[in-house]
């Protein structure tokens, strides 16, 4: 098992600070969002540096994340605005840069939000944060000794969030899930 900092530094990628800020806050105290990225270009430019233990290359501050770059990030969380293809591109940009295993936690590609869709409801940030946190803590508990991509799925029914069962399984998701990804489902 690699030596993990406490709290575990992570990168959060999302399109809106209205979702990103409550997600980052809900991750504490075990997980510290050190940087919030809002575009693919910023992700390509910043993720390799943050995973290598260097600070961001641009001074942009959106008010989300601690800005504590003293340790390399060990996880990257991507919300509904990022596709599997985007994440594959981000991972490829990090090849040869990362010294320690990293877990990539991303939203289920079958549940991607349409570009013109409104933001999810208020409860989404809390549920998505808990799902991502559970996944990262499980990865940490399992030794945090290999790179992994794990999907999460937060299902909502109308505007009402309903607590439900949790299931974890491996496999393809309508041929959209690359072989290197695990899938984690939570009904809310």
Q: Domains, the chain, ranges and CATH?
A: 8-187 (3.40.50)
pTM above 0.85, yes or no: no
Any idea of the CA torsion for 27, 29, 30, 33, to the nearest 10 degrees? 50
What string of H, E and C letters represents the secondary structure of the chain? CCCCCCCEEEEEECCCHHHHHHHHHHHCCCEEEEEEECCHHHHHHHHHHHHCCCCCCCCCCCCCCCCCCCCCCCEEEECCCCCHHHHHHHHHHCCCCCCCCCEEEEECHHHCCCCCCCCCCHHHHHHHHHHHHHHHHHHHHCCCCCCEEEEEEEECECCECCCCCEEEEECCCCCCCCCCEEEEEEEC
What's the pLDDT at 183? Answer: 53
What's the pLDDT at 164? Answer: 27
Q: Using one digit for the tens of pLDDT, what is the confidence trace for 97-138?
A: 998 999 999 987 666 666 666 666 668 888 889 999 999 999
pLDDT for 175 beyond 90: no
What's the pLDDT at 187? Answer: 39
Quote the percentage of the chain above a pLDDT of 70: 73
What's the pLDDT at 124? Answer: 80
What's the pLDDT at 116? Answer: 65
Tally the C-alpha atoms within 13 A of residue 54's C-alpha that lie toward its C-beta.
Answer: 12
pLDDT for 11 beyond 60: yes
What's the pLDDT at 37? Answer: 97
pLDDT for 172 beyond 70: no
pLDDT for 184 beyond 60: no
What's the pLDDT at 36? Answer: 98
Q: What confidence tier does 157 reach under pLDDT thresholds 50, 70, 90?
A: very low
Separation CA 59–CA 162 (nearest Å) = 40
Q: Using one digit for the tens of pLDDT, what is the confidence trace for 56-100?
A: 998 778 999 999 999 999 999 999 889 889 999 999 999 999 989
């Amino acid at each position: 098992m690699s030596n993990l900092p406490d709290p575990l530094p992570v990168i959060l990628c999302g399109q809106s600070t209205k979702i990103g800020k409550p997600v980052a806050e809900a991750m504490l105290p075990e997980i510290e969002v050190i940087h919030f990225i809002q575009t693919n270009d910023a992700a390509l430019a910043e993720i390799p540096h943050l995973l290598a233990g260097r600070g961001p290359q641009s001074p942009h501050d959106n008010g989300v994340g601690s800005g504590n770059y003293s340790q390399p990030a060990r996880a990257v969380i991507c919300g509904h605005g990022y596709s599997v293809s985007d994440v594959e591109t981000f991972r490829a940009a990090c090849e040869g840069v990362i010294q320690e295993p990293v877990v990539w936690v991303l939203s289920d590609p079958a549940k991607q939000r349409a570009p013109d869709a409104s933001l999810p409801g208020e409860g989404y940030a809390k549920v998505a944060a808990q799902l991502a946190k559970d996944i990262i803590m499980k990865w940490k508990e399992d030794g945090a000794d290999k790179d992994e991509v794990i999907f999460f799925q937060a299902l909502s029914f109308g505007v009402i969030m309903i607590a439900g069962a949790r299931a974890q399984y491996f496999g393809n998701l309508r041929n959209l899930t690359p072989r290197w990804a695990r899938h984690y489902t939570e009904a809310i």
